[in-house]
A and B are shown apart, each in its own frame.
Chain A
Amino acid sequence: MMPAAEPPRIRHDDNEGDNPMISAFRPRRAFIASVFAALVALPTAALAQELTMWSHWAAEVAKRAYVEDAIKRFEASKPGVKVKITWYEKSALYAALKTALRAGQAPDVFYAEVDQTDYIDNNLLADLSTGVNWNNVEPWAKQAWTFGKGTYGFPLEASTVEVYYNTKLMADLGVTVPANGQFDQAAFLDLVKKARAKGITPMSQGVGDRPFPGAYVTHEALLKKLGMNDYDALMKGKLSWSDPRVVETLTWVKQLVDAGAFPTSFTSLKLGESHIYFHTNPGALMFQVASWYTARAFNPPDKGGQPVNFPLGIMQSPAMNGGACNNCKSLAVGGSYVVNAASPRKDLGIAFLNSFATPEMGNKWLENVLVQTGIKTDASKIAGPHAGYFKQLAKANESNTYYFGTPVQVMQGKPKEVFTQVVNSALPAGSISVDDVVKQMNAAK
């Protein structure tokens, strides 16, 4: 790479060769020239090492800060390497990646989630099995990204599905949350009715720009009712939606809908807006969402975060009558990073992802972003201003068993599209009957 080794050329129009005094200087001039050339070449060669990176989370301050800090550490550990990151909103990111990957213009490292198996089917992702220290990563998190013989993504974010609620509003309604944090079906329906009667929106879900927030209530209920194995079968199309337990659960959800559990602007309410709906304006009783709730809620209030000293509580989603697993909960690997298989800087990209695989980075994520992570962490070392919340979250999860994956991650193709329109959108919007849901989901296999 460096041209220093080349011997200096002798210029034919140079008369100095005749003077022995001057000709003695030539080798030294040549040496200086070559050293100079080497000095110039070194940074140029190093500057060629720029990693391009595209990521979701443009609106989530804490996650951005975390990733940008990781970038700084990586750049410090490898002089001459720069990481250029572009922040996107998720839907814009996916659209851009779809075309860019096909066009061969995709970045070296980018954000992806586990449901994007089409990347792997088309050999677009680099295998991270050997380049990353998987000893520092939770086995279930690695498993989520393992397809066939390779592991293709780094599971940075993980989340559980929680029911957040406003403790003050709950007290105002005169309702006490049971000691184990879980209402039963009837009590929950009653709670919804009480809230509506007082003009408070019970749950601030919204499906304006995402294919999953409306379905949380339904699929958590189904998970509890059916238990891990049957729920898995349902998601994978092996269990019929006409199963009486499924129908019972859907009927209960419909009762919630009819009792006014969701906002009137449900179909157009965006995810960010539904956060604000819950904690600021107009304020709702509950918000069932993944635990990355805090990534937005702990932003400063003027950036969409919850008000200072907001009375945040966490409860379990309701227990189902005769439920097979009432302490089952969905745990999903969320935002992850992957390396473009066609990138000329593949190894550098993998090294970058490897820099996340330390307990220190895991703890840092927990402390600052307040969401679970796939990296192994040392819970005893968590400190910082939000340690209290984290303890609260840990308590809310102490007796849970986990099903790994949310429906939009487990389903593909036609069933996923129908699920999005029918279970996520139409059922909670009150536009469709339980029979119709069953019929359409069965037909979509």
Chain B
Amino acid sequence: MPPSSAGASAAGAHVARALGTPWRAVTVFLLPAATFYVAFTAYPVFRTLWNSFHKVLPAKEEFVGLANYAELVRDEIFWRAVRNTLVWACTSPLFEVSIALVLALALYAKVPGRRFFRIAWFTPVLMSYVVVGIIWAWIYNYDWGAVNTGLRALGLNSWTRAWLGKQETALPALIFVTTWMWSGFNMVVLLAALHSLPSEVIEAAELDNCGWWGKLVHVIFPMIRPTVLNLVVLSFVGKMKIFDLVWITTKGGPLWSTETVSIYVYKRAFEWNTFDLGYPSAVASVWFVIVLGSVLTLSYVFRQREKLEY
């Protein structure tokens, strides 16, 4: 907790202790949130876990023990989806945050028309994934899309491809789209972080004659590291969940090269010729464990160097 409020809350706590913790107030304040949480978050998680041990059909539920999980282990489509999603989640932060960092540092000096630029960089994030998917499916269109038209204009006809139609290029093409979406957002956040740095330290570094690179590495970077790490975790988590973009553009094709776990769960639950919800629940449960594990690992690794505000 920031130093100022630690003192304040200690004083407040002193008063609270003197009066006793106002349990009734606490209950009133927490009850609505707790109800929502239990009814629509906690209970569904347990229900999904429960489903995963059953065959869940409209008329009946049949206990099948670990059968769903056994099938899961052998399911190549699932493991393909896991690989795709992890690749996406690991490469995205690298691109999104580094591009944003480079540009933010370059823009550290005040630039005219900042507000206009900020709005322009933020627009990709303001659009829903559905809108983004539709627009980029057009941009990647083989015959008249912006990418291929541009390549042809530059005389690079041999580089034109059906970007979303070939397995080798489909996933990278989608990763490019999310990079496009989130770089602007990251840049805005980083700029704000840079501008909120205490100016005395920067001036002191300048006086010390650190040189431009030295200043960067030894002074600025350590101070914005928490922001950068937070953005990395945010980006990672966001890609682990991704559904809408893939659904609108490739639906997991071609040949499962863009199949993400969320797409696979949705397809198994609502598109395959079966009403069984048990198997997709098993997929969701395993994925949940994987996501949790990854995030905990990431936080642990980052926390070694810096205490994140939790």
Contact = CB atoms under 8 A, between A and B. Distances in A.
Contact of A268 (B58, B59, B165, B167): B165
The B interface is mostly helix, strand or loop, or mixed, namely loop
A174 to B, nearest CB: 28
Residue of B77, B141, B166, B273 contacting most chain A CB atoms (<10 Å) = B273
A7 B77 CA distance: 71
Interface in A285-341: none
Given A267-B162, A267-B165, A425-B253, A417 B59 contact: no
A417 B272 contact: yes
B142 A265 contact: yes
Interface string B128-166: 000000000100011100000000000000000010111
Given A425-B255, A429-B165, A94 B271 contact: yes
Contacts of A94: 271
Contacts of A101: 58, 275
A83 to B, nearest CB: 25
A122 B59 contact: yes
Interface in A115-135: 115-118, 121-124
The A interface is mostly helix, strand or loop, or mixed, namely helix
B270 A99 contact: yes
Given A94-B271, A118-B273, A123-B59, A421 B165 contact: no
Interface residues of A, number: 30
B154 to A, nearest CB: 20
A179 interface: no
A422 interface: yes
Contacts of B165: 265-268, 429
Contact of B58 (A115, A122, A267, A421): A122
Contacts of B94: none
Contacts, number: 71
B57 interface: yes
B141 to A, nearest CB: 8
A412 B273 contact: yes
Contacts of A251: none
A416 B255 contact: no
Contacts of B77: 417
B256 interface: yes
A264 interface: yes
B166 A431 contact: yes
Interface string A261-272: 000111110000
B273 A117 contact: yes
A268 B164 contact: yes
A95 interface: yes
A101 B274 CA distance: 12
Contacts of A116: 273
Nearest to B160: A264
Interface string A402-445: 00000000001100110001100110010110000000000000
A267 B272 contact: no
B254 interface: yes
Contacts of A426: 167, 254-255
B253 A102 contact: no
Nearest to B266: A95
A409 to B, nearest CB: 10
A98 interface: yes
B59 to A, nearest CB: 6
Given A117-B273, A118-B273, A122-B59, A265 B253 contact: no
Given A102-B275, A265-B162, A122 B255 contact: no
Contacts of A102: 58, 275
Contact of A267 (B164, B273, B275): B164
A95 to B, nearest CB: 6
B281 to A, nearest CB: 14
Interface in B66-89: 77
Given A266-B165, A267-B162, A268-B165, A429 B254 contact: yes
Given A98-B271, A264-B143, A426-B254, 13 more contacts: A98-B275, A99-B270, A118-B273, A122-B57, A122-B275, A124-B58, A265-B162, A267-B165, A413-B273, A417-B272, A422-B255, A426-B255, A432-B255
